[in-house]
């Protein structure tokens, strides 16, 4: 009995510390993204706070949109032959709604940014987001490769 309790405690401690590491790395990525975008967009102090307020609302809305979609379809296996044509039709309709909401959120961000930032910088923002994502993916792949060795 003592061994089971000890083993369970060790597993819980490991999972807790591992979850904290993941949270910290997510926070580090967000901080790095903030520095990355601020520098490359060349934001002045006056517009920087406005930009980050609008961008945070956009990011939070995107996350919530994704979370709602993921929760709805967590248990669905699309490879299942049990799906009827009507169920696939509903899935596709829901997927299209999800994609439309993403586009609407991006359009709202553009409208919000137009109040204090040029369209040139706004266009640059979307390119920089892609570059940042690629850079982070490359670093994560390198870290995984180094950890395996």
Position with higher pLDDT, 56 vs 88: 56
Looking at the domain assignment, is residue 117 inside a domain?
yes
Looking at the domain assignment, is residue 73 inside a domain?
yes
Looking at the domain assignment, is residue 97 inside a domain?
yes
Looking at the domain assignment, is residue 60 inside a domain?
yes
- Angle, helix 85-114 to helix 45-72, in steps of 10 degrees: 170
* DSSP single-letter state for residue 43: -
Q: What is the tens place of the pLDDT at every residue in 106-118?
A: 999 999 999 999 9
Q: How many domains does the chain contain in total?
A: 1
Looking at the domain assignment, is residue 39 inside a domain?
no
Confidence band for 38, pLDDT divided at 50, 70 and 90: very high
Looking at the domain assignment, is residue 119 inside a domain?
yes
**How far is the C-alpha of 122 from the C-alpha of 68, rounded, in Å?**
27
Looking at the domain assignment, is residue 26 inside a domain?
no
Looking at the domain assignment, is residue 33 inside a domain?
no
Q: What percent of the chain has pLDDT over 90?
A: 48
Range of the domain at 86: 44-148
């Amino acid at each position: 009995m003592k061994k089971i309790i000890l083993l369970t405690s060790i597993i819980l401690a490991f999972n807790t510390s591992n979850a904290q590491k993941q949270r910290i790395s997510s926070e580090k990525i967000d901080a790095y993204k903030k520095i990355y975008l601020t520098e490359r967009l060349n934001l002045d102090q006056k517009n920087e706070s406005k930009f980050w307020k609008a961008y945070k609302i956009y990011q939070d809305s995107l996350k919530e949109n994704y979370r709602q979609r993921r929760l709805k379809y967590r248990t669905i296996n699309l490879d299942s032959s049990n799906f009827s044509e009507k169920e696939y039709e509903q899935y596709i309709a829901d997927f299209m709604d999800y994609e439309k909401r993403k586009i609407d959120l991006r359009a709202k961000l553009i409208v919000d940014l137009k109040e204090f930032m040029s369209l040139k910088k706004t266009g640059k923002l979307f390119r920089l987001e892609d570059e940042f994502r690629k850079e982070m993916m490359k670093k994560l792949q390198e870290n995984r490769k180094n950890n395996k060795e």
